[in-house]
Amino acid sequence: MAKKRMIQAINEALDGEMAKDPKVVVFGEDVEISLFGDTRGLKDRHGAHRVRNMPISETVMSGMAVGAAAAGYKVVCHMMFGNFMYTGFDSIANQASKLRYMTAGQIALPIVYMGVFGGGRSAAAQHSDAMHPMIMNLGGIKVALPATPSDAMGLLRSAIHDPNPVMFLQAAGRGGEQGEVPEGDHVIELGKASTVQEGDDVTVVAIGAMVRPAMRAAQELAKSGIGVDLIDPRTVVPLDSEMIFGSVRKTGRLVVVDEARDMCSAASHIAAICADQCFDALKAPIRRVTVPDVALPYSPPLEKALLPNVASISDAVRRLLGKAATEGA
Amino acid sequence: MSVATSDVNFSDEQMLGFYRDMLRIRRIEERIGDDAKAGNIPGAVHLYIGQEAVGVGFCSQLTDDDWIASTHRGHGHYLAKGGDSKLLMAEIYGRETGMCKGHGGSMHVADFSKGIIGANGIVGAGISIITGAAWAAQMDGKGAVGVAFFGDGAANQGVLCEALNVAVLWKLPVIFVCENNGFSEFSPSSTVTAGNIVDRAKPYGAAHETVDGNDLIAVHQCAARAIKHARAGNGPSLIEARTYRQRGHVEAEASFLGSKYRSDEEVAEWIGRDPITAFARRVIDAGQASQADLDQIEAEIAGEVTEAVQFAEGSPYPDPAMQGTNYMFA
């Protein structure tokens, strides 16, 4: 194990896979100089033909990823910000997500669409979307949202070689976060959640950047004797629903923390399937800690007030237990 | 693009091959049109009738290692690139034996083993996909090229500008073939398209050429220049092939359109300039084939059409119990 920053883990995953497999290529906006640092140095190590800067042309870029993957390459398409994927959405929503299905699986389509997502940095409305729920609804693209450097490295390695398109979303502002990363070929299978900590009173499912505040909330709640079973799905497509159901059946209570807007969020989907599958085990209503159905604002106090945080997560858990205690009396 | 015009010097066999390839598309599609009108085909079909010289002119010079991307009007490109007619027909009939096991239908026929990335239901989408395939071909370094066929309607999608820009910058082995068939769905081109489409290559410095899309030989020569240009590593070309959509945007459109968007006289005039009829005349006039030769090809194709339809009709529908996430997450 070695301590690494998130962005370093991503960079090493790309570097390692490019070194191992000549079919892995990286292209996108400013990948040579690399705004975030995740693709920095790759051109020098792997050549200008495999690491290519693109014009700011998301429409052709997202489609080029499809064509190059169909023609045999493992394509990492860096679209910089999640919001910019909307500009190139046809090839994501109509082509990448459907080509394998429409053609009865004639080919593999290994594409990783990378982008930074989420709020917290005063990036304002057009650079802060948590757009994973929209991708979840496409049916045909896997979605990875790593919360730790170790998961970022392991998930990205899997994503690059997966025969399906994968959306790899890095939490904005978390690139500098440090964590222990195993040495060697550290790989994490897409679709396997992780139990961040175990507890018996309430299940908290936290997605992407929400894992850290949820962890702190769990630590704080532990001081009050509340045991949180904290689950990080790591990928929302495929979703490790069995692990979530198992936890909910154990605790009887569920809080889902998601940085997406509430309507049709990953949180509302997880809430729905748990209500469907674990209804008899539930001791209390399912709660969602999400973002209101508005764009994220620029001014720090405004933005901070909208995003889930340690206090709002703890509060949701406490109220859930309080209500459950009253009902049980 | 200033390039020398090569002499026309095709053998009798080659000429008959072009005729056969065009007529095969025509007769298969006529049958598809009839079947669609008879209600035997579940979805919409968009026919290539009248534009066959473009697909055949280009695809007859491509190999399975070259890539093509096509459009919602894509049966012709699929067949010209070597696609199987039985698998096409079964797919359009929605059968298990179809090229895509009934999951794609008319607008999504594809055969990657033959370099056919597929038809596409989104106007202009093939432009970006072929640009990526051409990038792959460039990285492979084996001289393969990518050809995107699209219509004049697709030329009004911004992606054409984006693709020309990157293809010139990267010198990609790609040919953008705009089949200007006069209509953007139900809108005459003149009402939705400013200027000449081919001129859109100029500001990017891409090679470009306009060709009579109803003249197989002219298309073939133009394609030869563009393909040579691409294989030699000189970058992209934009070709505007002027042709005409003899059929509607979609079969059976008369049943739901409230009014006409073109005159019968205009359609009749273009049918008078039909690429296959003109080519047949040319072959016979040049003494390269007899009417009997052409009749024999006609009979052979009739047999292929019958066989394809029988294959489709005799094939089972896919079993709904077997669907779900098949082919999606492997």
Domain-wise residue ranges, chain A: 2-181, 194-328
Q: What is the pTM of this model?
A: 0.96
Q: pLDDT category, A176, cuts 50, 70, 90?
A: confident
**What is the nearest CA distance from B129 to chain A, expressed in angstroms?**
4
Question: How many angstroms separate the CA atoms of A136 and A142, rounded?
Answer: 8
List chain B domain ranges: 18-312
Judged by CB atoms closer than 8 Å, whether chains meet at A164 and B104 is answered as: no
Measured CA to CA, the distance from residue B167 to residue B226 in angstroms comes to 14
Q: Do B128 and A67 touch (CB under 8 A)?
A: yes
What is the arithmetic mean of pLDDT over A63-74? 98
Minimum Cα–Cα distance from B126: chain A residue: A63
The residue of B67, B95, B162 whose CB has the most chain A CBs within 10 angstroms, and thus the best one to mutate to test that interface, is B162
Does A107 reach chain B within 8 Å, measured CB to CB? Answer: yes
Give the one of A55, A67, A103 whose C-beta lies nearest to B130's C-beta: A67
Of the CA atoms within 13 Å of residue A8, those in its CB half-sphere come to 10
Does the active-site annotation cover A127?
yes
Rounded to an integer, the average pLDDT of A94-104 is 95
Tell me if B125 and A103 make a contact (CB, 8 A cut-off): no
Which pLDDT score is estimated for B325? 61
Give the model's pLDDT for residue B257: 92
State the average pLDDT over residues A299-322.
96
For residue B101, list chain A residues with Cβ-Cβ distance below 8 A. Answer: 104
Instruction: Say what the ipTM of the complex is.
Output: 0.95
Residues B247 and B267: their CA atoms lie apart, in Å, by 9
Residue A329 in this model has a pLDDT that exceeds 70: no
Catalytic residue (choose from A46, A78, A127, A269): A127
What's the pLDDT band for A297 if we cut at 50, 70, 90?
very high
Q: Strand runs (DSSP E) across A60-157, as ranges?
A: 74-81, 111-117, 142-144
Nearest to A101 among B165, B170, B328 (CB): B328
Which residue is listed with tokens 């309080």? A322
Is the pLDDT assigned to residue A174 strictly greater than 90? no
Q: Do domains A2-181 and A194-328 have the same CATH topology?
A: yes
The CATH classification number of A194-328 equals 3.40.50.920
A18 touching B (Cβ < 8 Å): no
Q: What pLDDT does B7 receive?
A: 54
Task: Give me the architecture of the B18-312 domain, per CATH.
Answer: 3-Layer(aba) Sandwich (3.40)
Residue A328 has pLDDT above 80, yes or no: no
pLDDT tens readout for residues A100-116: 999 999 999 999 999 99
Q: Which of B69, B108, B135 sits opposite A103 (nearest CB)?
A: B108
Mean pLDDT of A34-60: 96
- CA–CA distance from A187 to each of A144, A160, A193, B48, B198 (Å)? 13, 11, 13, 48, 49
User: Per-residue pLDDT for A326 more than 70?
Assistant: no
| Beta strands per DSSP E along A55-208 | 74-81, 111-117, 142-144, 166-171, 178-181, 194-197, 202-206
Mean pLDDT of A54-60: 97
Q: Which CATH number fits domain A2-181: 3.90.25.10, 3.90.700.10, 3.30.565.10, 3.40.50.970?
A: 3.40.50.970
Q: What is the pLDDT along chain B (330 residues), one digit of tens a residue?
A: 333 344 568 999 999 999 999 999 999 999 999 999 999 999 999 999 999 999 999 999 999 999 999 999 999 999 999 999 999 999 999 999 999 999 999 999 999 999 999 999 999 999 999 999 999 999 999 999 999 999 999 999 999 999 999 999 999 999 999 999 999 999 999 999 999 999 999 999 999 999 999 999 999 999 999 999 999 999 999 999 999 999 999 998 988 999 999 999 999 999 999 999 999 999 999 999 999 999 999 999 999 999 999 999 999 999 988 776 667 775
Q: pLDDT above 90 covers what percent of chain A?
A: 95
Residue A7 confidence (pLDDT) above 60: yes
